[in-house]
Structure 1
Amino acid sequence: MKPIYAKPPLGSRAAFQVRKDYFDLLDTKWHYHSEYELAFIKYPHGKRIAGNSITAFEEDDLVFYGPNLPHAWSHEPAAGEVPATSYNSGLSYYAIVVHFSKSCFGDSFFAIPEMGAIQAILRRSTHGLVIYGEARKRIVQLMSQLVDHTGSRRVILLLQILEELSVTEEYALLSSAGYWDNLNDHDAVRMSGIYEYIIQNFTREIVLDEIATQAHISPSAFCRYFKARTKRTLKEFVNDLRINYACQLLEENQHSITQICFEAGFNNISNFNRRFKEIKGITPQQYRTNILGIHHNNIKRTAGEHSQS
């Protein structure tokens, strides 16, 4: 899965880019870019990779990514689902994607005092944000209008979206911050190869000599290079990735915690429990219990809404 640096379209005089893409099977290339990205994916269920986060989603996805955060989406089959074999046979689903730079309205526009709250949410977007609840509904409505309008109305709609993002508490952070700022072309190619290697191999032991060879540098140089560009050691980065993957498996509730420990790449249950609590603040069992409680409450709430209607 080769990462792609996605450059903005040439020759466009618009301050920012908006597009709506139709598809049948969700399968985006892993990519990154220097612009902010707001993306709504109209799709029943899938998998999202954002930095060191690997997460399943259901009933559509709305995310806000800061610059240079590697990300992708793919189809995640539901239990018993027949694998899809064709693309674009009926174009049943769609994505609305907005790209903009921090200087899209001028170099100092977002620096004025009135933009303080928006500045704060732009900083948080370096982690990647997933937006849910009523905020998601409001923002998706505005994004749909954004597709249909031009001129000053489009500018006003984007500012309304950023205002919604800046005031809502209905979001969660996806990843560690600190991705690939101010990389030159050589660094971008090297970090892409490193990241691809980790994504493909994180569920097994990653040997330092092996990954350093992939990057064409010595093991000691690799450790310094990786931490300077990700703000994390290789071990911290891989453990974050494994724990996020373990969370996805716990949410699916199909395997025992011991099975999940080994599937996520840990070699013993005590280390898994210790790292999980260190990163998430609770044990794997507590995490599963909390998720099941949320699921149970959602079912009760949905049943109550149906009985009232």
Structure 2
Amino acid sequence: MKAIFAKPPLGSRATFQVRKDNFDILDTKWHYHAEYELAYIHYPYGKRIAGNSMATFEDGDLVFYGPNLPHAWSHEFVAEQKANTFGVNEEPAHYAIVVHFSESCFGESFFTIPEMSVIQLILKKSTRGIVVHGESRKRIAKWMIQLPDNVGSKRVILLLQILEELSITKEYNLLSSTGYWDNLNGHDAVRMSSIYDYIIQHFTKEIALEEIAARAHISPSAFCRYFKARTKRTLKEFINDLRINYACQLLEENRHSITQICFEVGFNNISNFNRRFKEIKGITPQQYRANILSLSHTDSKRVV
């Protein structure tokens, strides 16, 4: 799953690109590009990768990615189930609406004027990847669905409405770590793509320094210096971040015991898992799950 530098095919008469992709099975290649991306994924269940974040999602995934943040979606374990859902002549039931735009799409200084200061802040936060939830997701999803069927000024207004909602809502989470994938030149991007591809495929197992260094065509000691200079983390710290982020998602799903999650994400004993989790998240896995369940209980009371 090597990362691909993708150049969205912007039309010659369009300031930004909007497209709707229909499909039966969700499976995008791990890629990155110089444009901002808004994506609404209408698919029952799958896995999302964004920078050093890996998580499962359910229908209506809504994300905002800044430039050059590697990302992908996959169907994971639902492929066979969904593939058997459709007849031979049936249309695909799932779709993604994707918007790509550059910071200069409305003019070099548009997003720097005083009236855009709050939107400028959310553009900066998007470099870590943003997933939106709650009522804000519903509002933005409605506008995203309208985008492909509108042209001209109406399409521009819809995009600005979405960006305004993103700038004022508190119903979102940041996905990747601070400083991830910063300041890479073209050669770095290709090399880091290979490294990251290997980590994503093997992070739940032991990763041998010698083997991953060989993929980068440098010695183990040079690899350690190279990797930390570009990710602001040692290889071990980076892998632990990825494992703990994945563990958080599994804890939120509440389908497995904490011991099961410990081994699922790649730790070989529960005490080490608890220690690393608290080191990164500030609380224990038990406390994290209790907080999530408490929030869910509060929300259900409000609904009633």
TM-score by length of 2: 0.91
2:81 to 62, 80, 83: 83
Alpha-carbon offset, residue 93 of structure 1: 1.2
Q: Is the 8 A contact 1:68 1:179 kept in 2?
A: no
Q: Deviations over 1:127-178 (max 9, x none)?
A: 1111111111111122222211212222222112111111111111111132
Equivalent residue runs for 1:147-226 within 5 Å: 147-226=148-227
Equivalent residue runs for 1:25-64 within 5 Å: 25-64=25-64
Alpha-carbon offset, residue 240 of structure 1: 0.6
Q: Deviations over 1:218-277 (max 9, x none)?
A: 122212221222222212211110001112222333333222212211122222111111
Alpha-carbon offset, residue 185 of structure 1: 2.8
Q: Secondary structure, in 3 states, of the residue corresponding to 1:191? A: helix
Q: Secondary structure, in 3 states, of the residue corresponding to 1:19? A: strand
Q: Secondary structure, in 3 states, of the residue corresponding to 2:40? A: strand
Equivalent residue runs for 1:260-299 within 5 Å: 260-299=261-300
Which 10-residue stretch deviates more, 117-126 or 10-19? 10-19
User: Which residue of structure 2 lines up, in the alignment, with residue 241 of structure 1?
Assistant: 242
- Mapped partners of 1:116, 1:245: distance in 2: 33
User: Which residue of structure 1 lines up, in the alignment, with residue 66 of structure 2?
Assistant: 66
Q: Deviations over 1:80-133 (max 9, x none)?
A: x96344689531011110001111112222112221101100111111111111
**Could you say if the C-alpha distance between residues 284 and 214 of structure 1 is closer, same or farther in structure 2, counting changes exceeding 3 Å?**
same
Letter in 2 for 1:279: I
- Mapped partners of 1:210, 1:164: distance in 2: 45
Alpha-carbon offset, residue 51 of structure 1: 1.0
Q: Secondary structure, in 3 states, of the residue corresponding to 1:282? A: coil
The reply to whether residue 116 of structure 1 matches residue 114 of structure 2 is: no
- Mapped partners of 1:44, 1:301: distance in 2: 25
- Mapped partners of 1:135, 1:110: distance in 2: 22
- Mapped partners of 2:299, 2:19: distance in 1: 33
**Could you say if the C-alpha distance between residues 85 and 151 of structure 1 is closer, same or farther in structure 2, counting changes exceeding 3 Å?**
closer
Letter in 2 for 1:284: P
Equivalent residue runs for 1:121-160 within 5 Å: 121-160=122-161
Letter in 1 for 2:51: G
Q: Is the 8 A contact 1:23 1:91 kept in 2?
A: yes
Alpha-carbon offset, residue 301 of structure 1: 4.9
- Mapped partners of 1:11, 1:254: distance in 2: 45
Alpha-carbon offset, residue 12 of structure 1: 2.8
**Could you say if the C-alpha distance between residues 215 and 82 of structure 1 is closer, same or farther in structure 2, counting changes exceeding 3 Å?**
closer
Equivalent residues, number? 301
**Could you say if the C-alpha distance between residues 152 and 82 of structure 1 is closer, same or farther in structure 2, counting changes exceeding 3 Å?**
closer
Q: Secondary structure, in 3 states, of the residue corresponding to 1:83? A: helix
The reply to whether residue 103 of structure 1 matches residue 101 of structure 2 is: no
The reply to whether residue 12 of structure 1 matches residue 12 of structure 2 is: yes
Q: Secondary structure, in 3 states, of the residue corresponding to 2:81? A: coil
User: Which residue of structure 1 lines up, in the alignment, with residue 232 of structure 2?
Assistant: 231
Q: Is the 8 A contact 2:10 2:16 kept in 1?
A: no
**Could you say if the C-alpha distance between residues 110 and 236 of structure 1 is closer, same or farther in structure 2, counting changes exceeding 3 Å?**
same
Percent identity between the two aligned chains: 75
Letter in 2 for 1:61: D
- Mapped partners of 1:141, 1:252: distance in 2: 26
Q: Is the 8 A contact 2:10 2:17 kept in 1?
A: no
User: Which residue of structure 2 lines up, in the alignment, with residue 307 of structure 1?
Assistant: none
- The answer for unaligned runs of 5 or more in structure 2 is none
Which 10-residue stretch deviates more, 215-224 or 180-189? 180-189
Give the alignment's Cα RMSD to 1 decimal: 2.1
- Mapped partners of 2:134, 2:294: distance in 1: 18
- Mapped partners of 2:76, 2:11: distance in 1: 36
- Mapped partners of 1:13, 1:191: distance in 2: 34
- Mapped partners of 2:80, 2:192: distance in 1: 36
